[in-house]
Amino acid sequence: MNDNNEPSEETQNQWSNDPNNWIWGIFYYNPKDSRIFPPKKVKELGWTINFANPNSVFAIIILIVVLTVIAWHNK
């Protein structure tokens, strides 16, 4: 950890590569990781959601609601 209690980039990479932090290999779940959107296992494919972080679950619910409202409004 660095001086502001944030994990180092090396630690974050270890977390992302640890198979114990992936449920069924596709859902990232790591309570130690405070990031809402950590990178996927293959970083070139973008980001995923840390389902152990309540803020990320809230963010995905808001995103789904917004997309549903937009789709419903454009019918």
Q: pTM of the full predicted structure?
A: 0.71
Structure tokens at 67: 């997309």
Nearest CA-CA partner of 24 in 59, 48, 56, 60? 48
Strands (E), the chain: 22-23, 27-28
**What pLDDT was estimated at residue 1?**
47
Measured in Å, how far apart are the chain's first and last C-alpha atoms?
Answer: 50
- Give the separation between CA 62 and CA 33, rounded to whole angstroms: 21
pLDDT in tens, 3-43: 566 778 888 878 888 889 899 988 999 998 888 888 888 87
**What pLDDT was estimated at residue 43?**
78
